[in-house]
A and B are shown apart, each in its own frame.
Chain A
Amino acid sequence: MNIFPDEVIEQIFGYVTSQRDRNALSLVCKNWHKLERCSRKSVLIGNCYSISPERVIERFPELKSLTLKGKPHFADFNLVPHGWGGFVYPWIEALAKTKVDLEKLKLKRMVVTDEGLELLARSFMNFKSLVLLSCEGFTTTGLAAIAANCRFLRELDLQENEVDDHKGQWLSCFPDCCTSLVSLNFACLKGEINLGALERLVARSPNLKSLRLNHTVPLSALQRILMQAPQLVDLGIGSFIHDPHSEVYTRLKNTIIKCKSMTSLSGFFEVLPGCLRAIYPVCMNLTALNLSYAAGIHCRELIKLIRRCGKLQRLWIMDCIGDYGLGVVASTCKDLQELRVFPSVLIGLNGPAGVSEKGLVAISMGCTKLHSLLYFCQQMTNAALITVAKNCPNCIRFRLCILDPTKPDPDTLQPLDEGFGAIVQSCKQLRRLSLSGQLTDRVFLYIGVYAEQLEMLSIAFAGQSDKGMMYVLNGCKKLRKLEIRDSPFGDPALLTDMGKYETMRSLWMSSCDVTIGACKALAEKMRRLNVEIFNENEKVDCSVDGGQKVQKMYLYRTLAGRRNDAPEHVWIL
């Protein structure tokens, strides 16, 4: 395939950015493989244990941006014992040793240490962007190292990380010559920051587009910051408490009016009723609104606010908005593409008691562009799901969580098989699905038959027999991640198609009926899978009878062999 000279092919490859497309290019012929790998700038490793860092660097020497994911998804819900793994240090170390000119590092569910951050900061002269999602293990000392050493830092984005806050002066560590910041997000930090340092940093960052503050930044500081940065596109408000009749508040209102580019708002960790009016002027331009942490906003204020946000595309809220409020969303936000409704039940908020199927039906009727949904609700009916399926055939991600996980359709007392069946049949592009409610094997039959594009499936408290899991494994050709908890799937299902797991990234099964013997057999047969078994912090007894059921099992395909950083209570077969 040497029709064009290599330079031309490389040029063409430059326009191909999606990783999947580039993977496809590299399979065409040896030459293309070589050209592709030498020009690849950005790599995503979906499971940090699937391959060694050295091999990645060897294949992609021009690597500039690396994304790594560590722990399995269910780690988010405390199902993975502490210390399981996902350490990023070996990767940083390996990268630092080579001549890789790393510019961007994005990590999800990994353990990051201050040492790692310090090494990162010192090793890469052109480092520009650090994004940490749901990570843990580091402190503000590590952040200080990044701030101090990365002279061209453009992005420091910390989302929902567990950070040990030493309340240090990490923000002051940004040198005066650092003027390149485009995005700064420290909303997840718990401690106070040096407000003066923050204001000065903002003042000398003319390119700053995204700023998300933590809850310790008061409204008065916000006002001063916005004066310096009216060009902000994305703002995360920390504390929004002030007397609505005070001068500070009035000044804030006048300052916000000048923020004509603002399209995304979030935060509001502390809010007083009556304060929200200050942001009304920017509402009509908002395309993204995240109020999922704003426990202080009452339902009716929320509704008044949303009535003004006609251009919203992404909305994250709490279920205190109620079904009525969702109706307002449906009639106001005609461009809505992504909706997440989180439960406020955890905090015992007063107000409308959550949302039900009615809210979802209303949304489906009003928001025809909806493609991503995460919905925590009190109940769901088959009829509602059938309606939603009909109204939103373009749905790509559909995650439904009924707070009572085995609740049937309250009207008919039937399982929700038919409803979810309608979803998978109608939403032909569905890539991600989470089920809940009372479900039999039948729903899995539907999924296996209809969910042709499905890549990730989350199952909890569902199914009746091994057949359920088998339907899925046999049917969903594009399945990459399967995670199951508390469902009656056992050895026959696990062992029915062992080769399937090499086509997938990973399989998680916890509190199911899988036995140690079966896991051993699987690990024995499939050498390119790591099969890990763990209980909650107790060492698994390796001598135990093979018929004993396994509490938690996580298996994934790998080219790196057994990992050697697992703690004692994780048994790798």
Chain B
Amino acid sequence: MSPPAVVTEEDGLSKVSSTVASGSSQSLDCFSQNGAGLKERNYLGLSDCSSVDSCASTVPVLCVEKKENMNLKATELRLGLPGSQSPERDPDLFSLSLAKLDEKPLFPLVPTKDGICLSSQKTVVSGNKRGFADTMDGFSQGKFTGNTGMNAMLSPRPSGAQPSAMKEMPSKLQERPCSDNNGTGHNHTGASISGSAPASKAQVVGWPPIRSFRKNSMATTSNKNNDEVDGKPGVGALFVKVSMDGAPYLRKVDLRSYTTYQELSSALEKMFSCFTLGQCGSHGAPGREMLSESKLRDLLHGSEYVLTYEDKDGDWMLVGDVPWEMFTDTCKRLKIMKGSDAIGLAPRAMEKSKSRS
């Protein structure tokens, strides 16, 4: 396999046009060119990626900004989450090297489950070796010029309308003889996500390839155990108490009115103006563990406060540890603790990073 060439945004334009021109042929060039474009994928964390930030904001090969110039709107295929612009498709289109991702924010400001992957997407952009430890970056979206919608789209969760769009594409694009035999294969949704109808599960015999014993066991136990339903996102307010060590009063905040830790932190800062949040403070440092490192040092001097929360299991955790959605789903109450009190709450991730460094 030829080593993929790095494709910058400008180059991508020309490469894009040539791949379109190659029509429906599935030439090797077609693949390797797109493989080339793929190298720009920011979550590879490749050090030789020309510019991390440009990687962040660029959708490789799929230069959405240039689409108008290319006048490819007629041939573009867009994928969207339900509620966003519906995909336009040219049914006669065979060469589908281009998928235009809709710029419209597909990641609604209301937290959805996609947020979880969003954070992980972001963390790698910073070039960390550790892909996911760095959840904080995911929340500092302002740092990146990229489109939040774009990045969310980079990890699309098929649900609702989207799978049908995806399904039809292969049969249109590729002349796959076996698609005739396997019409059923295209009927099912890839997954019943977020509790969507189980009736739409795989109708293909023996797919997904899971031992029937496992399938049968899970079917019987699921009824007993499916007791915890995460709070539906975006519905109503979610007030939690916020207390602070030494403060004479406690306040309540509506977690649903924020979408990031940064917002929550600023709001609390205003409310309890005499403290500094331990972790949600500066965003200069790319790595969350580095943030925590310096904060931990500060904590040891006992001069800082940290924001902690009690989760559904009754455990006290440092705020910022988990993706925002998971936090809002599990947070029962918040507490602003003295740094010295919070040392025992240092999450494993932090300890591990300390031992590694």
Q: Pick the contact of A76: B133, B166, B212, B218 (CB < 8 A).
A: B212
> Which of A10-18, A139-147, A343-351 contacts the other chain?
A343-351
**By the criterion CB–CB under 8 Å, are B348 and A308 in contact?**
yes
Chain B residues 162-194 with CB under 8 Å of chain A are: 163, 166-167, 169-170, 173-179, 181-182, 185-186, 188-194
**By the criterion CB–CB under 8 Å, are A324 and B133 in contact?**
no
Chain A residues 290-342 with CB under 8 Å of chain B are: 292-293, 295-296, 298-301, 303-304, 307-308, 310, 322-324, 326-328, 330-332, 342
At the interface, yes or no: A26 with Cβ under 8 Å from chain B? Answer: no
Q: Which chain A residues lie closer than 8 Å to B179 at the CB level? A: 406
Q: How many Å from the CB of B82 to the closest CB on chain A? A: 13
Chain A residues 447-476 with CB under 8 Å of chain B are: 458, 460-461, 463-465
**By the criterion CB–CB under 8 Å, are A347 and B211 in contact?**
no
Q: Which chain A residues lie closer than 8 Å to B131 at the CB level? A: 327, 330, 358, 361-362, 365-366
With A and B bound together, what is the CA distance between A327 and B321 in angstroms? 12
**By the criterion CB–CB under 8 Å, are A77 and B206 in contact?**
yes
Q: Which chain B residues lie closer than 8 Å to A188 at the CB level? A: 213
With A and B bound together, what is the CA distance between A509 and B116 in angstroms? 40
**By the criterion CB–CB under 8 Å, are B177 and A464 in contact?**
yes
> Which of B39-47, B276-284, B335-343 contacts the other chain?
B39-47
At the interface, yes or no: A486 with Cβ under 8 Å from chain B? Answer: yes
**By the criterion CB–CB under 8 Å, are B34 and A414 in contact?**
yes
Q: How many Å from the CB of A397 to the closest CB on chain B? A: 14
With A and B bound together, what is the CA distance between A438 and B131 in angstroms? 26
**By the criterion CB–CB under 8 Å, are B322 and A378 in contact?**
no
Q: Which chain B residues lie closer than 8 Å to A322 at the CB level? A: 116-117
At the interface, yes or no: B311 with Cβ under 8 Å from chain A? Answer: yes
With A and B bound together, what is the CA distance between A207 and B179 in angstroms? 56
With A and B bound together, what is the CA distance between A327 and B352 in angstroms? 14
With A and B bound together, what is the CA distance between A346 and B204 in angstroms? 13
Q: Which chain B residues lie closer than 8 Å to A353 at the CB level? A: 113, 157, 159, 191, 193-194
Q: Which chain B residues lie closer than 8 Å to A296 at the CB level? A: 221, 224-225, 227
> Which of B25-33, B141-149, B253-261, B290-298 contacts the other chain?
B25-33
At the interface, yes or no: B262 with Cβ under 8 Å from chain A? Answer: no
At the interface, yes or no: B71 with Cβ under 8 Å from chain A? Answer: no
**By the criterion CB–CB under 8 Å, are B225 and A270 in contact?**
yes
Q: Which chain A residues lie closer than 8 Å to B163 at the CB level? A: 404
At the interface, yes or no: B214 with Cβ under 8 Å from chain A? Answer: yes
With A and B bound together, what is the CA distance between A384 and B120 in angstroms? 14
Chain A residues 390-429 with CB under 8 Å of chain B are: 401-415, 417-418, 421-422, 425
Q: Which chain B residues lie closer than 8 Å to A301 at the CB level? A: 313
With A and B bound together, what is the CA distance between A513 and B178 in angstroms? 9
Once A403-B208, A460-B207 are accepted as A-B contacts, the answer to whether A413 and B186 lie under 8 Å apart by CB is no
**By the criterion CB–CB under 8 Å, are B129 and A365 in contact?**
yes
Q: Which chain B residues lie closer than 8 Å to A411 at the CB level? A: 38, 41, 59-60, 62, 99, 154
At the interface, yes or no: A383 with Cβ under 8 Å from chain B? Answer: yes
**By the criterion CB–CB under 8 Å, are A488 and B209 in contact?**
no
At the interface, yes or no: B17 with Cβ under 8 Å from chain A? Answer: no
Q: Which chain B residues lie closer than 8 Å to A386 at the CB level? A: 35, 38
**By the criterion CB–CB under 8 Å, are B155 and A358 in contact?**
yes
With A and B bound together, what is the CA distance between A488 and B133 in angstroms? 43
Q: Pick the contact of A410: B119, B166, B226, B312 (CB < 8 A).
A: B166
At the interface, yes or no: B326 with Cβ under 8 Å from chain A? Answer: yes
At the interface, yes or no: A175 with Cβ under 8 Å from chain B? Answer: no
With A and B bound together, what is the CA distance between A412 and B61 in angstroms? 8
At the interface, yes or no: A151 with Cβ under 8 Å from chain B? Answer: no
Q: Pick the contact of A362: B79, B132, B173, B185 (CB < 8 A).
A: B132
With A and B bound together, what is the CA distance between A568 and B234 in angstroms? 59
**By the criterion CB–CB under 8 Å, are A79 and B206 in contact?**
yes
**By the criterion CB–CB under 8 Å, are B205 and A78 in contact?**
yes
Residue of A nearest to B157 (CB): A353
Q: Pick the contact of A327: B32, B132, B189, B191 (CB < 8 A).
A: B132
With A and B bound together, what is the CA distance between A356 and B154 in angstroms? 11
**By the criterion CB–CB under 8 Å, are B169 and A413 in contact?**
yes
Q: Pick the contact of A77: B178, B212, B330 (CB < 8 A).
A: B212
Q: Which chain A residues lie closer than 8 Å to B219 at the CB level? A: 346-347
Q: How many Å from the CB of A356 to the closest CB on chain B? A: 6
At the interface, yes or no: A251 with Cβ under 8 Å from chain B? Answer: no
Q: Which chain B residues lie closer than 8 Å to A465 at the CB level? A: 177
**By the criterion CB–CB under 8 Å, are A358 and B226 in contact?**
no
With A and B bound together, what is the CA distance between A494 and B33 in angstroms? 33
With A and B bound together, what is the CA distance between A531 and B152 in angstroms? 50
**By the criterion CB–CB under 8 Å, are B326 and A300 in contact?**
yes
At the interface, yes or no: A183 with Cβ under 8 Å from chain B? Answer: no
With A and B bound together, what is the CA distance between A362 and B45 in angstroms? 11
**By the criterion CB–CB under 8 Å, are A161 and B213 in contact?**
yes
With A and B bound together, what is the CA distance between A331 and B195 in angstroms? 29
Q: How many Å from the CB of A305 to the closest CB on chain B? A: 11
Q: How many Å from the CB of B238 to the closest CB on chain A? A: 16
Once A332-B348, A345-B201, A460-B209 are accepted as A-B contacts, the answer to whether A303 and B322 lie under 8 Å apart by CB is yes
Once A345-B193, A413-B99 are accepted as A-B contacts, the answer to whether A77 and B211 lie under 8 Å apart by CB is yes
Q: Which chain B residues lie closer than 8 Å to A405 at the CB level? A: 185, 204, 207-208
Q: Which chain A residues lie closer than 8 Å to B186 at the CB level? A: 406
Q: How many Å from the CB of B240 to the closest CB on chain A? A: 16
At the interface, yes or no: A228 with Cβ under 8 Å from chain B? Answer: no
Q: Pick the contact of B326: A160, A299, A382, A401 (CB < 8 A).
A: A299
Which of A277, A331, A359 counts the most B-chain CB atoms under 10 A from its CB? A331
**By the criterion CB–CB under 8 Å, are A354 and B193 in contact?**
yes
Q: Which chain B residues lie closer than 8 Å to A271 at the CB level? A: 225
Residue of B nearest to A308 (CB): B348
**By the criterion CB–CB under 8 Å, are B193 and A404 in contact?**
no
Q: Which chain A residues lie closer than 8 Å to B191 at the CB level? A: 343, 345, 353-354, 378, 403
Residue of B nearest to A489 (CB): B178
Q: How many Å from the CB of B200 to the closest CB on chain A? A: 11
**By the criterion CB–CB under 8 Å, are A343 and B135 in contact?**
no
Q: How many Å from the CB of A314 to the closest CB on chain B? A: 17
Residue of A nearest to B26 (CB): A440
With A and B bound together, what is the CA distance between A511 and B182 in angstroms? 9
At the interface, yes or no: A101 with Cβ under 8 Å from chain B? Answer: no
At the interface, yes or no: A387 with Cβ under 8 Å from chain B? Answer: yes
Once A322-B116, A404-B190 are accepted as A-B contacts, the answer to whether A215 and B221 lie under 8 Å apart by CB is yes
Q: Which chain B residues lie closer than 8 Å to A347 at the CB level? A: 218-219, 221-222, 226
**By the criterion CB–CB under 8 Å, are B178 and A486 in contact?**
yes
Q: How many Å from the CB of B222 to the closest CB on chain A? A: 4
**By the criterion CB–CB under 8 Å, are A349 and B226 in contact?**
yes
With A and B bound together, what is the CA distance between A66 and B326 in angstroms? 50
Chain B residues 62-100 with CB under 8 Å of chain A are: 62, 77, 79, 96-97, 99
Q: Please list the residues of chain B having a beta carbon within 8 angstroms of any beta carbon in chain A.
A: 1, 26, 28, 30-32, 34-35, 37-39, 41, 43-45, 59-62, 77, 79, 96-97, 99, 113, 116-117, 119-121, 123-124, 129-133, 135, 154-159, 163, 166-167, 169-170, 173-179, 181-182, 185-186, 188-195, 198, 201-202, 204-215, 217-219, 221-222, 224-230, 311-315, 322-323, 326, 329-330, 347-349, 352
Could you name 24 residue pairs across A and B whose Cβ atoms are closer than 8 Å?
A: A162-B213, A273-B312, A292-B214, A296-B227, A324-B117, A324-B135, A324-B322, A327-B130, A347-B218, A352-B116, A353-B113, A356-B155, A358-B132, A383-B41, A384-B43, A405-B204, A406-B176, A407-B190, A410-B156, A411-B60, A411-B62, A412-B37, A464-B177, A486-B185
Question: Top 4 nearest A-B pairs by Cβ distance?
Answer: A327-B132, A362-B131, A296-B225, A347-B222
Given contacts A330-B131, A406-B185, A460-B209, 7 further A-B contacts (CB under 8 A): A293-B217, A323-B155, A324-B326, A327-B132, A342-B210, A401-B208, A412-B34
